[in-house]
Chain A
Amino acid sequence: MNVLNEWAFIGMFAVLAPIFPALPIVIAWLFRPRKPNVLKSSTYECGVETIGDTWVQFRVQYYIYGLIFLVFDVEMVFLFPWAAAYNEMSLFGFVAGFLFIFLLTDALFYAWQKNALEWK
């Protein structure tokens, strides 16, 4: 039952947290007057009428940003266990970790050089 004790709080959060946003919606649904008309149910954005279709094609730059984020996300995943074992590590392991960081810094440098980080 060790697993239960460690994760009981997260489990309670997972159950209770969705109730908080759901409760006002349910209460509002119970007490609101229901008088829809065309103007009320029209789509708007910040009080302004929308121009064109909502489902527009995104720019490829978003994807590049997402991919660069993914690369450093995965780097973090590898570096976390490395950092956890830092104190009992040989010089070889220390150098291997830094080689890992160096190779990815290289990729970041390439992205910077090619102006991939700039929003055009």
Chain B
Amino acid sequence: MELNAISIGFVVFTIFTLGGGIGVVTTRNLFQGTIWLMVSLFGVAGYFVLLSAPFLAAVQILVYIGAIAILITFAVMLTRSVTRIKTRYIRLVPSLLASLALFLILLLGVTMPIFGGVSPEHAPATVASTRDLGAALVDENGYVVPFLLASVLLTGAMIGAIFIARDDTA
């Protein structure tokens, strides 16, 4: 591998992503696991920067670290005995098999266009900008139906959460 800024960045972000992931699965404290997850998600945001997708990097930080990690923190804090949960389940063989199978599926999915992806030699030369993304989101031949479905899904999530929480407190 050629030693330039991108390859150094790749190594640094890989250390963040994998190190955070190792932290998540090895710590026995759920709260510390959440912090490690944020480190891992930050590394993924760095990958998006290296792939010339700054908007997705910002989304990764805002939504995953800013919102989803906070929700996980709250969920951990809602559990009754936060740090006293002794999670010590060691199932080495099943977890190794599961992670190996997932790795192989993802490897095939990335290297071969079997999930409807585009192979590297057919990829467009120009990188789609945020403006192209916005135009495709509301284009009648593009992604307007998923775009509006996302809004329905968000509405449903919010109404459902309020309904369940109200039922709990009433």
By a beta-carbon cutoff of 8 Å, the part of chain A in contact with chain B is 1, 3-4, 6-7, 11, 55, 57-58, 60-64, 66-71, 73-78, 80-86, 88-89, 92-94, 96-97, 99-100, 103-104, 106-107, 110-111, 114, 116, 120
Contact = CB atoms under 8 A, between A and B. Distances in A.
Contact of B165 (A60, A80, A85, A103): A60
B162 A71 contact: no
Given A3-B5, A71-B154, A111-B158, A58 B134 contact: no
Interface string B63-86: 100111011001101111111100
B54 to A, nearest CB: 8
Interface of B: 4-6, 9, 49-50, 52, 54-55, 59, 62-63, 66-68, 70-71, 74-75, 77-84, 129-135, 137-140, 144, 147-148, 150-152, 154-155, 157-159, 161-162, 165-166, 168-169
Mostly helix, strand, loop or mixed at chain B's interface?
A: helix
A86 B9 CA distance: 34
A103 B144 CA distance: 14
Contacts of A106: 155
Contact of A107 (B130, B155, B166): B155
Contact of B151 (A11, A66, A89, A100): A100
Given A1-B5, A57-B78, A99-B148, A85 B162 contact: no
B82 A55 contact: yes
Given A57-B77, A85-B131, A111-B158, A67 B71 contact: yes
A78 B119 CA distance: 27
Contact of A77 (B6, B59, B78, B158): B59
A80 B130 contact: yes
8 contacts: A57-B80, A63-B74, A66-B70, A67-B161, A77-B59, A81-B134, A85-B131, A85-B138
A67 B54 CA distance: 25
A85 to B, nearest CB: 3
